[in-house]
């Protein structure tokens, strides 16, 4: 399997916050890999913008260091030298007038202009206003904004209102890197491109669905931000909500941005409120050698959750009665993100009680080792009767790729190229963001009003014991967390 590269039109990309961690780790290396792959035109221009005092040579040195560290196996001296010719820098004050006319002079006429807001959300409005006031943006320009898209429904509405004062909705690209993952897009291909699954993709045949996003790391250097957010705001409201939508949505009429996003919005609006007994919140404990969550955020009395598990229901004809079990947390047993669609038992087993209980499970792995497996029931090899076993049909993308093929593109690579193409299919719309907060806010408000304290769990565990009981009460169990 060899990926096909479709070049994009000439463009200028301005990265506000161009010296920050996201630019170094993801944006600049991703652009370099697209350049090496032949997708970026030779006359493309990449302009870093930040408050720091730096010239083109200094920014090219920063870019080179970032690419050598995070660029993967495609880095060669010759390719890097050609890429760096396209890299520039301008000192810009987001809250003032300094640098904007200089930046305007560096932009080319008659091509796509994209502006990546790799900065704090508090600067989004100021940047959008100055892009308009200084004439840098026109009707064909695009802006890319990173999460968090607000802290709650009220702030999300305010943020959307500020952006929409200066840009139309079809110019605003709210990026969620989970939607750029190869496996997430293959979920749509599997569902809507094959007759095999879609007839079974409903409450009649699906027993339940599990979504797990587990991390082995703690909050790291994000302690101050994370303690104001927690797992619900940081993961469930955005990343996991988008995964749930892609699983539960109806087939859109066309694979077009608004058609896809209309169906996702219907899913969010069909989510039932979650009763308190169907939510488990946890916080990792420390040990003699490892800090606790309270130590990491320098707040030993923190009531913010680093783990959450819940059972959700989508109240529509397709999914009525089918539970969606969601869990995510930090300092867990392994780093893994997966969706498991667990199908119901066969209505009658002809093989007797000794055959055991076997179920078909479609597992979509987002990380690590992106791919899919389908567990099917087969006869155990050998003599001695009809003994059954589960065997996976495995599609691991790294194994399926040709040895000479490029690496599986990073999510940011794909999404930035979609911005240049003007394709918003894999980006969130403003009403999606607000609908997700409208479902999330009451859950958070309820536990904050009660003063709930998250349950402790050991580092390297699978979360609090009550998370296991959430499934056991229903006669089900979580899949094992493993990398």
Positions annotated as catalytic residues are 239
Question: What is the SS3 assignment for the chain?
Answer: CCCCCCCCCCEEEEEECCCCHHHHHHHHHHHHHHHHCCCCCCCCEEEEEECCCCCHHHHHHHHHHHHHHHCHHHCCHHHHHHHHCCEEEEECCCCCCCCHHHHHHHCCCCCEEEEEECCCHHHHHHHHHHHHHCCCCCCCCEEEECCCCCCCHHHHHHHHHHHHCCCCHHHEEECCHHHHCHHHHHHHHHHHHCCCCHHHCCCCCEEEEEEEEECCCCCHHHHHHHHHHHHHHHHHHHHHHHHHHHHHCCCCCCCCHHHHHHHHHHHHHHECCCCHHHEEEEEECCCCCCCCHHHHCCCCCCCCCCEEEEEEEECCCCCCCCEEEEEEECCECCCEEEEEEEECCCCCCCCCHHHCCCCCEEEEEEECCCEEEEEEEEECCCCCCCCEEEEEEEEEHHHHCCCCCCCCCCHHHHHHHHHHHCCCCCCECHHHHHHHHHHHHHHHHHHHHHCCCCEEECCCECCCHHHHHHHHCCCCCCCCCCC
- Ordered strands of the 45-50 beta sheet: 87-91, 45-50, 11-16, 112-117, 142-145, 172-174
The verdict on whether omega for the bond into residue 148 sits within 30 degrees of 0, i.e. cis, is yes
Phi, psi (degrees; rounded to nearest 5) at 58: -65, -40
Residue in the block written with tokens 């792959």: 37
CA dihedral 130, 135, 137, 143 (to 10 degrees): -10
């Amino acid at each position: 399997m060899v990926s096909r590269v479709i070049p994009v039109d000439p463009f200028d990309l301005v990265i506000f916050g161009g010296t920050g961690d996201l630019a170094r780790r993801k944006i600049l290396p991703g652009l370099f890999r697209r350049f090496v792959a032949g997708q970026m035109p030779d006359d493309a221009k990449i302009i870093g913008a930040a408050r720091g005092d730096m010239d083109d040579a200094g920014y090219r040195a920063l870019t080179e260091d970032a690419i050598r560290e995070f660029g993967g196996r495609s880095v060669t001296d010759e390719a890097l030298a050609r890429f760096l010719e396209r890299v520039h820098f301008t000192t810009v004050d987001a809250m003032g007038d300094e640098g904007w006319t200089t930046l305007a002079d560096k932009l080319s006429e008659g091509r796509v202009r994209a502006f990546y807001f790799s900065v704090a959300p508090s600067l989004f409005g100021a940047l959008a206003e100055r892009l308009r006031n200084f004439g840098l943006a026109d009707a064909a320009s695009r802006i890319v904004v990173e999460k968090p898209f607000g802290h709650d429904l009220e702030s999300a509405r305010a943020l959307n209102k500020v952006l929409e004062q200066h840009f139309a909705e079809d110019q605003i690209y709210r990026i969620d890197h989970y939607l750029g993952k190869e496996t997430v897009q293959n979920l749509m291909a599997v569902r809507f491109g094959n007759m095999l699954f879609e007839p079974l993709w409903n409450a009649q045949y699906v027993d339940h669905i599990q979504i797990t996003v587990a991390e082995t790391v703690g909050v790291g250097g994000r302690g101050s931000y994370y303690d104001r957010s927690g797992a619900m705001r940081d993961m469930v409201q955005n990343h996991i909500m988008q995964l749930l939508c892609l699983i539960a949505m109806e087939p859109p009429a066309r694979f077009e941005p608004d058609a896809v996003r209309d169906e996702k919005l219907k899913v969010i609006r069909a989510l039932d409120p979650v009763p308190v007994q169907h939510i488990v919140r946890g916080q990792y404990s420390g040990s003699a050698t490892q800090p606790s969550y309270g130590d990491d955020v320098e707040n030993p009395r923190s009531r913010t959750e680093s783990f959450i598990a819940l059972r959700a229901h989508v109240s529509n004809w397709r999914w009525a009665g089918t539970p969606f079990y969601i869990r995510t947390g930090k300092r867990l047993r392994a780093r893994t993100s997966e969706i498991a669609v667990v199908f119901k038992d066969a209505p009658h087993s002809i093989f007797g009680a000794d055959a055991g209980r076997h179920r078909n499970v479609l597992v979509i792995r987002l990380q690590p080792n992106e791919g899919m497996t389908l567990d099917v029931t087969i006869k155990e090899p050998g003599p001695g009767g009809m003994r059954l076993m589960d065997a996976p049909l495995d599609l691991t993308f790294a194994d399926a790729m040709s040895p000479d093929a490029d690496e599986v593109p990073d999510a940011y690579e794909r999404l930035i190229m979609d911005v240049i193409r003007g394709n918003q299919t894999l980006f969130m719309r403003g009403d999606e963001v607000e609908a997700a907060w409208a479902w999330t806010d009451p859950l958070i408000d309820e536990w904050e009003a009660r003063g709930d304290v998250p349950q402790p769990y050991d580092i390297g565990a699978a979360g609090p014991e009550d998370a296991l009981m959430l499934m056991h009460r229903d006669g089900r169990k979580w899949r094992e967390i493993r990398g």
